[in-house]
Amino acid sequence: MIGCHCPVCRSDNPKNKRRRCSLYVQAGGKCLLFDTPPDLREQVLTFGVERVDAVFITHPHADHIFGFDDIRRFSDLQKSHIPVYGSSATVASMRSKFDYVDKPSHSFGGVPRVVFTEMIAPVEIGGARITPVPVIHGEEPVYGFLVEADGKRLAYIPDCSGIPETSFQWLDSLDVMILDGLRPGRHSTHFSIGECVEHLQRIGAERSFLTHLTHHSDHDTLQASLPAGIDVPQDGLTVYLK
């Protein structure tokens, strides 16, 4: 937290140094990126991400999209337009905030070359199937995503204060569930850690992770307080599903 000197902000445990939320999935022969946070460039350089075949945006809040311009490096490297998926509201917001990327061009440098695509149903990217999972984020409807490939199922819901009953159908038999667990105290637009754990227990994935954590949570202290099967991730955490 900028300007904060609390024990977590002063901690020298690298697990307490948290960048913004995002997820990179290699599945079905493709490389999928979920959200483009402001520190995306530093994240991909740190963790060696060299390819992005499709981008999925959960919602157009600043902490999830303002690294989007760096997608230009991937469209340039790959010499192709990269599909960017989101709800109609998300796509409208992305088009307006990044109005300079949508102009037709034959060259690939300079700006991201993308194809904004409204997503209301599952899409197939290579051997992966990605399904939008509608959830509530304060007053706003936003997306989480279910990724299915090679018989494995992972769901990612980074910003959420409520999951409609109709969306639990997508959260069944998961190998991995990643869910918003902002902080110990209640918040109007995010699950608290307690609410997150309750939902993770109902969902019952093989492995569960909290995300969107703040400086209210020391990594090791929080980890020690969680039930078995629910973990606190750290930046760069890699999970293999085989």
Binding footprint of Zn ion on the chain (CB under 5 A)? 1, 4, 6, 9, 61, 63, 159, 215
**Cα distance between residue 222 and residue 213, in whole Å:** 10
Q: By C-beta, is 128 or 196 nearer to Zn ion?
A: 196
Q: By C-beta, is 73 or 215 nearer to Zn ion?
A: 215
Closest approach of Zn ion to the CB of residue 139, in Å: 11
Closest approach of Zn ion to the CB of residue 221, in Å: 14
Q: By C-beta, is 72 or 137 nearer to Zn ion?
A: 137
Contact predicate 229/206, CB 8 Å: yes
Closest approach of Zn ion to the CB of residue 152, in Å: 26
**Cα distance between residue 62 and residue 155, in whole Å:** 22
Token digits of residue 54: 């499709």
Q: By C-beta, is 70 or 159 nearer to Zn ion?
A: 159
- Which residues are CB-neighbours of 22 under 8 A, at least 6 positions away? 33, 34, 35, 36, 37, 40, 43, 64
Backbone angles phi, psi at 130, to 5 degrees: -120, 125
User: Which helix (H) or strand (E) segment is 141 a member of?
Assistant: strand 140-149
Closest approach of Zn ion to the CB of residue 64, in Å: 5
Closest approach of Zn ion to the CB of residue 104, in Å: 31
Closest approach of Zn ion to the CB of residue 137, in Å: 5
- Residue count of the chain, please give it: 242
Contact predicate 31/51, CB 8 Å: yes
Cα 93 → chain centroid: 18
Closest approach of Zn ion to the CB of residue 29, in Å: 30
Contact predicate 58/158, CB 8 Å: yes
Cα 174 → chain centroid: 16
Distances (CA, A) of 127 to 92, 120, 141, 169, 241: 28, 19, 28, 21, 15
